[in-house]
Amino acid sequence: MRLLIVGRLSGELVTASKIALNRGASVTHADGIDQGLAALRAKGGDLVMVDVGLDIRRLVQALSDERIRTPVVACGIASDARAAVAAIQAGAKEYIPLPPDPEMIAAVLEAVAADTRSFVWRDPSMERVVRLAEQVARSEASVLITGESGTGKEVLARHVHAKSNRAGRPFVSVNCAAIPEALLESELFGHEKGAFTGAIARRIGRFEEANGGTLLLDEISEMDVRLQSKLLRALQERVIDRVGGAAPVKVDIRVLATSNRNLAEEVKKGTFREDLFYRLNVVHLRLPPLRERLADILELAAHFSRKYAELNGLPLRPLAREAQALVARNPWRGNVRELENTIHRAVLLAQGPEIGPEAILSPEGEALAAPPASGPVERAASAAEAATRGLVGRTVADVERDLILDTLDHCLGNRTHAARILGISIRTLRNKLNEYVEAGVQVAEPGGVRAVAAYG
C-alpha cells in the first residue's frame, strides 16, 4: 500500500502517517496540491490523504484529467461538519476526522486493499486453476488469464501477485480497452513535458509505476498492433521509451495479461502479434464460466450475502434452500459479476430470517427466468418468433441501437461485459455509444441503468 499524505504535517497528520506506517503502508509526504500531483506523476500511489484545508476539487479534477485513478480521502478536524461535506462534494471518497483514530485509519487502508483479498473458490475445476496459478506465482513467467467476462480474471491476477515474490511491491493494472487509443501509449510508457498538447508535466507511465512489482495488462486484445510492437520491445528488453523521451528507461516488472477473447484466434486473424502472444502465453490460466463451477456458485453466493450484509449494516441472512436451488440452476451469463449484483440486491430486498427465492431477482425486479418446460426446438422457434415480431417495419440502425442500449442496461452499464455479449469490440461499442450521446440519446452510466423514461 503506497500512501501519499498531502498537507503541512501538523502533529495530527504526523500521527496519522505513523499509524499508516505501522499498518505496513509506505508513506510519502507532499506539502501542497502541486507537490502531491508531482509525486503521483513520478511514482504513482494507492491512496491520497489530503488536508481538508487544501483545494481538493482541483486535486480531484487534475487526477481525473490526467487519468490517475488513485482514490482521495480528506482529513480535518472532527467537529467541522461543513468541511467534511464540502470535501465529499469536491470528490473525496471519505472524510477522516482528526485527531486520527487508529481504527479509522486501519479501516480506510483496509477498504482500499479489500478488493485484493476476497478470492473465493471451492469447485474442483477452479481448484486446478488456482493450484497452477500458485505454482507459477513465484516464478517470473508471464501469465495469460482468459475467461468470459466477469469470471474473475482480475481477481485471479491479484491472487498471483499476492502469492509471488513481488507481493510487497506495487500491483498496477491498466485496462487497455478503457483508455482511448491515442492515450494508451503515454499511459503505459509515460511522457516527457511538452511531448504532445496537454502534456503539462513529465508523467511516468504504468510500467515505471509498477517497477519492482507486477503489471496487469487487462484486455490486452484491444491494444492496436503498433503499440503491440512497443510492448514487445518493453517485455523483451526490459526497457521502455517515454513518449517524447530521449533515453530508454530500465524497468523490472512481471507481466500478467487478461483477455476475454481467444488470443490464438486473434493471431490467426492478424489483429494480434504472434511473437507477443508467445511472450505473454508462457502460462495460460483459463477460468471456467461460473455455470460450470457449481460448487463455486453457492460458496460465492454465501460470501456475497455476508459481504453486503456487513457493508449495509443489515443482519446476516443465509440463503434459503429454494433460493439456493434457484441460484444454482441459473445460467449466469454475466458470471460472478452478475451473481454478485443479484445477491447484493437480494440482501437489500430480503426480509425475515433467510433470503428467500422471492428476493432473487433480475435488475428489473423480475424473477430469474425459469428453465422453459418445452424442448429446445420449440424454445428456439418461439424465441425467434418473439424476437422478430417487434422488428418488422423498423430500420436496422434503430434495432441495433435498442439492442445495444438494452444490453448495456442489462449489464448495469458495464461496457466490457456488454460488448462481450453483443459480440463486438469494446471500441466499436464505445464509438456507437458516443454517437448516441451526441444524438441526445440517454446511455447507461457504468454501475447503472437508464432512467425508465428513456424506454418510451
Residues near ligand ATP (CB under 6 A) are 118-121, 147, 149-155, 260, 300, 336-337, 340, 416-417
> Which stretches does DSSP call E strand in 113-178?
143-146, 171-175
Contact 370, 327 (CB under 8 A): no
- The angle subtended at Cα 252 by Cα 249 and Cα 258, nearest 5°, is 110
Q: 58 or 307: whose CB is closer to ligand ATP? A: 307
Residue 155 binds which entry of ligand ATP, Mg ion, none, CB below 5-8 Å type-dependent: ligand ATP
Residue 147 binds which entry of Mg ion, ligand ATP, none, CB below 5-8 Å type-dependent: ligand ATP
Least distance from ligand ATP to the Cβ atom of residue 149, Å: 4
Q: Crossing angle for the helix pair 225-237 and 181-189, nearest 10 degrees?
A: 10
Residue 149 binds which entry of ligand ATP, Mg ion, none, CB below 5-8 Å type-dependent: ligand ATP
Collapsed DSSP state (helix, strand, coil) of residue 36: helix
Residue 337 binds which entry of ligand ATP, Mg ion, none, CB below 5-8 Å type-dependent: ligand ATP
Q: Which stretch binds Mg ion (CB under 5 A): 71-79, 154-162, 242-250, 272-280?
A: 154-162
Q: 242 or 337: whose CB is closer to ligand ATP? A: 337
Residue 338 binds which entry of Mg ion, ligand ATP, none, CB below 5-8 Å type-dependent: none
Q: 147 or 357: whose CB is closer to ligand ATP? A: 147
Least distance from ligand ATP to the Cβ atom of residue 164, Å: 17
Tell which one of 154, 187, 296, 338 touches Mg ion (CB under 5 A): 154
Least distance from Mg ion to the Cβ atom of residue 114, Å: 17
**Bridge partners, 175 (sequence order):** 218
**For residue 287, what is its C-alpha cell?**
477460468
**For residue 166, what is its C-alpha cell?**
513481488
Strand 203-204 relative to strand 26-30, pairing: unpaired
Q: 95 or 171: whose CB is closer to ligand ATP? A: 171
- The angle subtended at Cα 73 by Cα 68 and Cα 78, nearest 5°, is 165
Q: Which stretch binds Mg ion (CB under 5 A): 9-17, 83-91, 152-160, 261-269?
A: 152-160
Burial label, 69 (beta-carbon count in 10 A; 0-12, 13-18, 19+)? exposed
By beta-carbon distance, which residue lies closest to ligand ATP?
A: 152
User: Using CA atoms, how far apart are residues 427 and 357, in angstroms rounded to an integer?
Assistant: 38
Contact 92, 73 (CB under 8 A): yes
Q: 55 or 115: whose CB is closer to ligand ATP? A: 115
Task: Kindly report the backbone phi and psi dihedral angles of residue 415, in degrees, each rounded to the nearest multiple of 5, phi listed first.
Answer: -60, -45
CB atoms near residue 324 (< 10 Å) = 18
Q: 94 or 154: whose CB is closer to ligand ATP? A: 154
Q: 290 or 326: whose CB is closer to ligand ATP? A: 290
Binding residues vs Mg ion (CB under 5 A): 153-154
